[in-house]
Amino acid sequence: MKKVKLLFISVLAVFLTGCVDVAIDMDIKNNDTGKVIYSIAYNEELFQDEESGFDVSGPEEIEEDWAEENVVISDLNYKKNEDTYVGKKIEFSFSSIDELNEYMNKVSNGNEEDSETTETKPIIFTRDGDNVKISMIVDSESADEMEYYESFIDYDVSIKLEGNVVEHNATNFNEETNTLTWNFKTLTEDGINVTYDTSTKILSDDLIYYIILGVGFVVLGFVMYNTIKKVRQLNSV
């Protein structure tokens, strides 16, 4: 039985006795640089049951898989619904789409070199001129199988973009932060389909702040000018 390397969990029986939390958070700039945080944590009871017989990659194995990569690995340990979850958080930066695709293939399939032969399809980034397409294809058979386990896994993908979003199928889109998120249901049914334009740039929060501040000073100056003008007119009468 294939070990859990994750984008999707292939050891289906695991979910009958425990839960898994998976999160992928990306921050992508228009010049194809950025940062990804990949987090995976398991219900601790999964690793205390020696009689379960499940072949599941634990936090130590995940760390071994990424040991040779230029990443920052930290421990996860938290409470959820009175259960203890343990796992790893892997952070990495990228300087090109090719590098990002290499990392995402590893997130999806662990040390499996050929993604075409594995059950999990990676998130793929493709540039065409100023437009970048983000896609993840889910075949109907896998979607039908994973739908049953929706209540057993908490899996989210979040992508914050600098460019203008042209089209998307995200579960939610926060226009203020230009961040798209997908939950497990959307991912298993529709995958990921996004196109964004890197020739345009969404205003950052800091820039918006300074624009508002500048407008405020202009308005204040105009009011003060009119007030002083009226006072001078009254004094001249």
Query: What does the DSSP assignment read for 176-208?
Result: TTTEEEE-HHHHHHH-EEEEEETTS-PPPHHHH
Would you state the pLDDT for residue 55?
46
Report residue 115's pLDDT band, with 50, 70 and 90 as the boundaries: very low
Quick check: is 60 in a domain? yes
Q: What is the mean pLDDT of residues 19-35?
A: 94
Q: Are residues 85 and 172 in the same domain?
A: yes
28, 160 Cβ separation under 8 angstroms: yes
pLDDT surpassing 90 at residue 17:
no
Q: Are residues 219 and 150 in the same domain?
A: no
CA 109-171-17 angle, to 5 degrees, is 55
Quick check: is 226 in a domain? yes
Q: Are residues 191 and 209 in the same domain?
A: no
The letter for the amino acid at 145 is E
- Show the tokens assigned to 79: 């409470």
Nearest to 26 by CA among 165, 122, 158: 158
134-192 pLDDT, tens digit each: 999 887 666 566 666 666 788 899 999 999 999 999 999 999 999 999 998 898 889 99
Q: What is the mean pLDDT of residues 89-117?
A: 80
The whole-angstrom separation of Cα 147 and Cα 129 is 36
Quick check: is 121 in a domain? yes
What domain count does the chain have? 2
Q: Are residues 136 and 73 in the same domain?
A: yes
Which one has a higher pLDDT value, 40 or 208? 40
Quick check: is 2 in a domain? no
Q: Are residues 68 and 185 in the same domain?
A: yes
CA 143 to chain centre: 20
Which one has a higher pLDDT value, 120 or 125? 125
Structural domain range at position 169: 12-197
